[in-house]
Amino acid sequence: MPKVKSEASKNRDAPYKKPAPSSEELALKEALHTPCDMDEELELFLKYIFEREDLMSQPENLDTKIYAIYSQASNRKGMKISDFKRFYLDLWRLLRSDPQMSSAIFQYTDLKLSDVISTIEAKRKLPIEIYSDFLYFHLGVLSPQYRVYANACLDRTTEFIAWVLQYKQQHPNHQICGIKLASPLLKRADSIVFFCVNRDAAMQLTQAMTHLIGVFEKSIPAMTTRIQDGVGISIGAEPDQIRTGLAANELEIPVGAAVCQSFGTIRAQLIKGAALNYNENKQQYGESFDSFKRFVVAAFRGYGLDPSKKPQNE
């Protein structure tokens, strides 16, 4: 009587089938063997990263370090706690009559601006986390698709916010979902960020902003699209709101804070992954900037981003 093979035996005898390649593997294969087209702003940023041996050879917290370079974040020299308090007192006098703007909340400490003002006026101690926190103004429930980055001069910030109030009044259908204001103790290329419903709303806002003379610094966040030469205004696409994996300590984010993914953090993490892959495979694919660039292209394409296009085209 012929023996009947068991199912397990059949599986052992079956020819090995290689698993289908993942989207990341396909993107890497394509990027390493096809012309490498990349947006100029992104390429310049990558070249700076590549030439920093301390970054390329130290993978620990690399995404956090890249993000810090992207946002140009640093402590503002010469600023004191008293300056911080005076800044928000001046801001409050401007905003308290506006129902939307006066209800602003600090992102990480979850404190209302009005409560922080009361604490300052009562000369009570503020939580240490507040000094590196962001103030969020929620202006609507619509989902943002674009961001406008404004690098306002510190001594013109209150004046600029007064202009924003006026802009809101003059454009009831402004389609700005929210505004994020960085702590005055931090120097950032994106000190103020506007979250807009669509590109038209973002461009309308930026065109109005360019008429403000002497209000903005010159620098913009890396990998964003500059609106006008010499003016710190730029635009970028709004990413999906997912939690970020960035380390909190170097960004001075309080432990346990819910941190959403941003334009910069997504790219920082993709570039970190590309750097790690490049370091692991550079003997095979070549130890050069062009080779590193191809790994970045693969990472971007694997995530669903087109590295050859400006952010507003994503």
Interval 214-239 mean pLDDT: 86
Unique residue bearing structure tokens 């002497």: 214
CA gap 183, 41 in Å, rounded: 27
Interval 71-85 mean pLDDT: 76
Beta strand pairing call for 146-150 and 233-237: antiparallel
Unique residue bearing structure tokens 């401007």: 94
Residues 6+ apart with CB under 8 A from 85: 120
Q: Model's pTM, two decimal places?
A: 0.69
Interval 241-258 mean pLDDT: 39
Question: Of 14-23, 112-121, 230-239, where does the model show the most confidence?
Answer: 112-121
Q: 216, 219, 235: which is closest to 227 by C-alpha?
A: 235
167 or 257, greater pLDDT? 167
Unique residue bearing structure tokens 């640093």: 74
Domain span at residue 202 reads: 77-218
Q: Do 65 and 195 share a domain, yes or no?
A: no
Range with the lowest mean pLDDT among 2-6, 16-20, 49-53, 267-271?
2-6
pLDDT at residue 246, as a whole number: 41
Which of 218, 247, 277 is where one domain is finished?
Answer: 218
CA gap 179, 228 in Å, rounded: 21
Answer yes or no: is pLDDT of 185 > 60: yes
Q: Do 303 and 190 share a domain, yes or no?
A: no
Answer yes or no: is pLDDT of 243 > 70: no
159 or 249, greater pLDDT? 159
CA gap 150, 219 in Å, rounded: 9
Joined tokens for residue 246: 């960035």
Residues of the chain with pLDDT > 70, as a percent, come to 76
Question: Is position 232 within any domain?
Answer: no
Q: Do 105 and 68 share a domain, yes or no?
A: no
- What total of structural domains would you count in the chain? 2
Answer positive or negative: Cα dihedral of 278, 280, 284, 288.
Answer: positive
pLDDT at residue 165, as a whole number: 95
Joined tokens for residue 110: 């979850």
Q: Do 280 and 199 share a domain, yes or no?
A: no
Q: Which of the four pLDDT bands, split at 50, 70 and 90, describes residue 58?
A: confident
Question: Is position 17 within any domain?
Answer: no
Q: Do 126 and 27 share a domain, yes or no?
A: no
Answer yes or no: is pLDDT of 7 > 70: no
Q: Do 305 and 286 share a domain, yes or no?
A: yes
Q: Do 181 and 107 share a domain, yes or no?
A: yes
pLDDT at residue 81, as a whole number: 87
Q: Do 88 and 195 share a domain, yes or no?
A: yes
Range with the lowest mean pLDDT among 15-24, 86-95, 109-118, 128-137?
15-24
Which of 218, 243, 272 is where one domain is finished?
Answer: 218
The radius of gyration of the chain from alpha carbons, rounded to an integer in Å, stands at 24
Interval 214-230 mean pLDDT: 89
What's the farthest any 2 CA atoms get from each other in the chain? 96
CA gap 204, 178 in Å, rounded: 15
Answer yes or no: is pLDDT of 252 > 50: no
Q: Which residues pair with 226 in a beta bridge?
A: 234
Joined tokens for residue 192: 């103020």
- pLDDT tens-digit series, residues 79-106: 788 899 999 999 999 999 999 999 999 9
